[in-house]
Amino acid sequence: MIHLYGIANCDRVKKARAWLDAQGKDYAFHDYKKEGADPEKIAGWIAAAGLDVLVNRKGTTFRALSDEDKAKAADAARAPALLAANPAVIKRPVVEHDGGILVGFKPDDWAAALG
């Protein structure tokens, strides 16, 4: 089963969902805005992909964080709680699939991982 995490009105998430639909892939969508983000799940993503991959440092939400919170985003132990409280700081989308996780939407990577 494919689980897609993101924010419904995010352009990258829309493109990812359209790609999955075009490929005929069944997936479950988890919208952070409606359903929140789970710190334990985020900790697992950090362990699998790394903070540098998961944290969206280019977005306006990250830039608006205090220096203290930005420091938390650079600490694997403290980042999950910060990202759960500020899910817009998570690079989107995140996909969990049988072979691991994908962060961000790159069609070639997705085709290789999801077939």
| pLDDT digit string, tens, across residues 53-86 | 999 999 999 999 999 999 999 999 999 999 999 9
Average pLDDT value for the chain: 96
* Strand spans (E) along the chain: 2-6, 27-31, 94-97, 100-103
For residues 98-114, give the mean pLDDT: 96
pLDDT at position 115, please? 82
pLDDT, mean of residues 9-38: 97
pTM above 0.75, yes or no: yes
49: domain CATH number? 3.40.30.10
Q: Catalytic: which of 4, 10, 37, 84?
A: 10
Confidence of residue 6 (pLDDT cuts 50, 70, 90): very high
Q: What is the pLDDT of residues 26-62, one digit of tens each?
A: 999 999 999 999 999 999 999 999 999 999 999 999 9
What are the φ/ψ torsions at residue 99 (nearest 5 degrees)?
Answer: -90, 0
The two three-digit tokens of residue 76, written as one number: 């694997």
Classified as helix, coil or strand, 113 is helix
Q: Catalytic site residue 10?
A: yes
* Residue-range definition of the domain harbouring residue 67: 2-114
State residue 13's pLDDT score: 98
Residues in CB range of 45: below 8 A, 6 or more apart: 54, 94, 101, 103
Is 96 within 8 Å of 8 (Cβ atoms)? no
Which of 73, 5, 81, 79 minimizes the C-alpha distance to 39?
81
Q: Is 99 helix (H, G, I), strand (E, B) or coil?
A: coil
Number of domain units in the chain: 1
DSSP-derived pairing of the beta strands 100-103 and 27-31: unpaired
Q: What is d(CA 65, CA 70) in angstroms, rounded to the nearest whole number?
A: 6
